[in-house]
Amino acid sequence: MVCIPTNGLGGVGYSFWTNNPAYHRLAAMHQIIFDTEYRKTLLKDGATDFVLAEYERSMKELGFLSVDAEILCYGIPVAWYWQMLQVMVDVPLIGFLFTYPTVDQVSTTSWLMTGLFVQYAATRMKKSIDNVKTSQKPLHEVLGVAERFYKGLTVKGLLKQGRRPYPDRTHSLSMGMRISFRNVSLVHQSSLCIHPAVQNVSFNIAPGQFVLLVGQNGSGKTSLLHLISGLFEPSEGVISIDGVPAQEFNSLSLRQAMVVLLQTEEIYPLSIRDNLFMSLSELDKARCHLKSDYLDQSAEMGGSYRFINSLTEKYETVLNPVGHFNTSSDIVGNGPVSSAVVEEMRRNAPRMSSIPISGGEKQRLIASRAFMKLNNYSGVKLLVVDEATSALDAIAERNLLERFRSHSVGKTTIFVTHRFQYLAHQADLILCMHEGKLIQQGTHGRLMSDLEGEYAKLYRAQLDPEH
């Protein structure tokens, strides 16, 4: 009866992109905030305030703007008068007409307007459901994304925020962080099972000590480090920092005094420069921006200098940009996209494909980010390296860990590495984990005296991998 265009361009296929840097910045911050992959990296870097401030700044520059480019694939909205006509003709009001005899006390005009409102609401609901149906993802995956998003909103509430700033003038010492665990347990709960990751662990790490944390895969080492760095709170027991219960400290100021390299860290969808600066305070960032030597020095120490300088844009390179260009989809009534439209997009849209990097290159970049903070923030009192060199060969790993060791003066240092035999004699304390329990602790010599102990078995396996 009425020919209504399927999109705001008269029904033809189209492409879309933007060269506005503020939009790409906004899209990157949006992904960092809402993608669960970045959550641990963001928390341990203490960069949440920076990301939220950048997101707000980009929003103010652009105005209120959605970054959900996927919606644009399904159609540009038609003009308002077409939408009103579509509301009236899309689904007939026959069902609502049957209510007319029952509304004697309601005017015909009010009844009709109510019917139109019901029709509009139903149409909008249908459109929302259609968006889910055309999302190219199974329904359980769509619902899973929503569940993870709402769980993410509760993270801040689960981590208790103390008011005491760190370091504490009355308790903290200049030579590093004192860490104490008293009967600490950590239980991971899910809808399917309850998994005790750490069970009744107690130990003391003195300020400035060099500590090795060893154990087989799945023994609880990473969970223990997450407790130390404040990414998890214990299910039971007490963790003390410099003799003060950890929950009494402000978590942001406590993390600012730490440099933590996790097993699984992400490269933010920002420039390499921004990635290296991410864990610095605004004051330190401003100072480092004035001299490129700070970047080069940290890149050299982390082993990423040659890789970065092989890139055309060097420190301004975005390795994994957030892609926001595409063409319309023809499954919802849009016309075909011509080859000329596609070619125009390819010629004018910015590069949005990721630059592939190896696992070793990624770890070197993350190590360079750690050195950036070690070199430019004097308040670091704890250095944690959790198997962050697993993709490097033995020589490269040893050289990198030695550079970290050279920066550990005046800091408490904790290393986790499978190849620990050359570090064992240097360690002031070795903690040996097995199935979530701390089963041995002491120096290398003391632990090796128990020839049948777990540590001695692990150490001998380092010397003779075949047995």
Domain count, the chain: 2
The pLDDT confidence band at residue 126, using thresholds 50, 70 and 90, is low
Q: Are residues 148 and 215 in the same domain?
A: no
Q: Is there a domain that residue 281 lies in?
A: no
Q: Are residues 212 and 141 in the same domain?
A: no
* Boundary residue ending a domain (153, 170, 202): 153
Which residues, at least 6 apart from 447, have a Cβ–Cβ distance to it below 8 Å? 430, 432, 440, 441, 453, 455, 456
The predicted structure's pLDDT at residue 100:
53
The predicted structure's pLDDT at residue 68:
55
DSSP 74-101: H-PPPPHHHHHHHHHHHS-SHHHHTTGG
**What whole-number distance in Å separates Cα of residue 184 and Cα of residue 234?**
6
What is the rounded average pLDDT for all residues in the chain? Answer: 77
Q: Are residues 38 and 145 in the same domain?
A: yes
**What whole-number distance in Å separates Cα of residue 134 and Cα of residue 138?**
10
Residue 98: pLDDT above 90?
A: no
The predicted structure's pLDDT at residue 380:
92
Which amino acid makes up residue 218? G
Per-residue pLDDT of 143-156, as tens digits, reads 555 555 444 444 44
Q: Are residues 240 and 386 in the same domain?
A: yes
31-35, 159-163, 253-257 — most confident range: 253-257
The predicted structure's pLDDT at residue 214:
94
Residue 394: pLDDT above 90?
A: no
Average pLDDT, integer, range 105-122:
56
What is the length of the chain? 467
Q: Are residues 137 and 211 in the same domain?
A: no
Q: Is there a domain that residue 304 lies in?
A: no
User: Nearest to residue 210, comparing CAs of 37, 427, 31, 400?
Assistant: 427
Residue 462: pLDDT above 70?
A: yes
* Boundary residue ending a domain (153, 188, 220): 153
Q: Are residues 188 and 141 in the same domain?
A: no
298-312, 335-349, 451-465 — most confident range: 298-312
Per-residue pLDDT of 1-58, as tens digits, reads 344 444 444 555 656 666 677 878 888 888 888 788 888 888 888 888 888 888 888 8
Least confident of 99-113, 185-199, 350-364, 413-427: 99-113
Largest distance between two CA atoms of the chain: 95
Q: Are residues 76 and 20 in the same domain?
A: yes
Q: 179-189 and 194-205 as β-strands: parallel, antiparallel, unpaired?
A: antiparallel
The predicted structure's pLDDT at residue 301:
94
Q: Are residues 137 and 206 in the same domain?
A: no
Provide the CATH number for the domain around residue 235. 3.40.50.300
Q: Are residues 23 and 146 in the same domain?
A: yes
Token code pair at residue 260: 């933590």
Q: Is there a domain that residue 30 lies in?
A: yes
Domain residue limits at 228: 179-257+379-463
Q: Is there a domain that residue 339 lies in?
A: no
Q: To the nearest 5 percent, what fractions of the chain are helix, strand and coil?
A: 45, 15, 40
Q: Is there a domain that residue 138 lies in?
A: yes
Least confident of 50-59, 229-238, 261-270, 292-301: 50-59
Least confident of 18-32, 107-121, 214-228, 274-288: 107-121
Q: Are residues 27 and 141 in the same domain?
A: yes
Please tell me which residue, 126 or 30, carries the higher pLDDT value: 30
CB burial class (10 A; 0-12, 13-18, 19+) of residue 157? exposed
Q: Is 3 helix (H, G, I), strand (E, B) or coil?
A: coil
Q: Is there a domain that residue 3 lies in?
A: no
* Boundary residue ending a domain (84, 118, 153): 153
Q: Is there a domain that residue 85 lies in?
A: yes
Residue 266: pLDDT above 80?
A: yes
The predicted structure's pLDDT at residue 271:
93
Q: Are residues 136 and 196 in the same domain?
A: no
The pLDDT confidence band at residue 454, using thresholds 50, 70 and 90, is very high
Average pLDDT, integer, range 401-416:
91
Q: Are residues 102 and 247 in the same domain?
A: no
The predicted structure's pLDDT at residue 8:
45
Average pLDDT, integer, range 107-112:
56
Residue 299: pLDDT above 90?
A: yes
The predicted structure's pLDDT at residue 36:
81
Q: Is there a domain that residue 1 lies in?
A: no
